[in-house]
Amino acid sequence: MKLDVLNIKGENTGRSISLPEEIFGIEPSAHAVYLAVKQYNAAQRQGTHKAKEKNEIARTTKKLKRQKGTGTARAGSMKSPVFRGGGRVFGPRPRNYSFKLNKKVKELARNSAYAHKYANGAIIVVEDFNFDNPSTKAYKNMLSNLKVQGKSLLLTADHNSNVYMSGRNLPKASTHAVHNATTYDIVKADVLIISENSVNQIKAVYEQ
């Protein structure tokens, strides 16, 4: 499983790199990816929703009308949910939406996301690079030279401040170190750009 290594000008460097088959060559598990993305989205929810119920409403408890003879249901408090401004029945309460996912399932999901990108020809390997200063223009030129269309995810071996800050203002571009990239990040990208050294980092994460 080899891919040509390009530079940021989109030119072939004449080198190729082997991708680990145990990651990029597996049969993708759509269900594992679904669970990992679901867990990620659930963890992003604040869960601070709250509605006042009957015991939390500050309204009069004076009996509104006589018990019988009115032709309507009996009522003893304006807090009742049947009245406008009354408490809500079974309203939302603060809760934690996150849930646990087994480590092996998360690994399978991440590897499946990599394998799916490789199977669809959506991976570009670039030689290691750096910008002298943060430059959105330089980042855009790199994407243009690599002929990237749609959303892109650039994976670097380690956190690179100049590269990260160069791409953070581009709505369709993301930059992450390998160990920070989630299955969700990989899945939502149309094109995966991998720096040369990060291939070894991907393999190291797999072997942990």
State whether 145 and 52 are in the same domain: no
Average pLDDT over the chain, rounded to an integer:
90
Tell me the per-residue pLDDT of 167-195, one tens digit each, with 9 for 90 and over: 889 999 999 988 888 999 999 999 999 98
State whether 184 and 200 are in the same domain: yes
State whether 152 and 109 are in the same domain: yes
Residues 97, 44 contacting (CB under 8 angstroms): no
12, pLDDT greater than 90: no
Tell me the per-residue pLDDT of 148-158, one tens digit each, with 9 for 90 and over: 888 999 998 88
State whether 87 and 101 are in the same domain: no
| 4-13, 26-35, 144-153: the lowest-pLDDT one | 4-13
State whether 73 and 130 are in the same domain: no
State whether 126 and 183 are in the same domain: yes
CATH code (residue 7): 3.40.1370.10
d(CA 58, CA 77): 11
State whether 64 and 137 are in the same domain: no
State whether 198 and 122 are in the same domain: yes
Tell me the per-residue pLDDT of 100-111, one tens digit each, with 9 for 90 and over: 999 999 999 999
204, pLDDT greater than 80: no
- The residue count of the chain comes to 208
- For 184, which DSSP code? H
Sign for the CA dihedral angle at 198, 170, 162, 185 comes to negative
For the chain, how many structural domains are there in total? 2
d(CA 33, CA 178): 18
State whether 133 and 187 are in the same domain: yes
State whether 106 and 170 are in the same domain: yes
Q: Which helix (H) or strand (E) holds 156?
A: strand 152-156
Which residues lie closer than 8 Å to 66 by C-beta, 6 or more apart? none
- Return the amino acid letter for 164: Y
Which residues lie closer than 8 Å to 15 by C-beta, 6 or more apart? 4, 5, 127
Which residues lie closer than 8 Å to 51 by C-beta, 6 or more apart? 88, 91, 92, 93
Q: What is the pTM of this model?
A: 0.81
State whether 109 and 122 are in the same domain: yes
State whether 126 and 154 are in the same domain: yes
Domain limits for position 77: 48-95
Tell me the per-residue pLDDT of 132-141, one tens digit each, with 9 for 90 and over: 889 999 999 9
Q: What confidence score (pLDDT) does residue 208 get?
A: 60
DSSP result, 16-79 = EEEPPHHHHTS---HHHHHHHHHHHHHHH---------GGG-----S--S-SSSSSS-----TT
The span from the first CA to the last CA of the chain, in angstroms, equals 22
d(CA 16, CA 105): 31
Residues 13, 127 contacting (CB under 8 angstroms): yes
Tell me the per-residue pLDDT of 36-89, one tens digit each, with 9 for 90 and over: 999 999 999 999 999 999 999 999 888 888 999 989 998 889 999 999 889 999
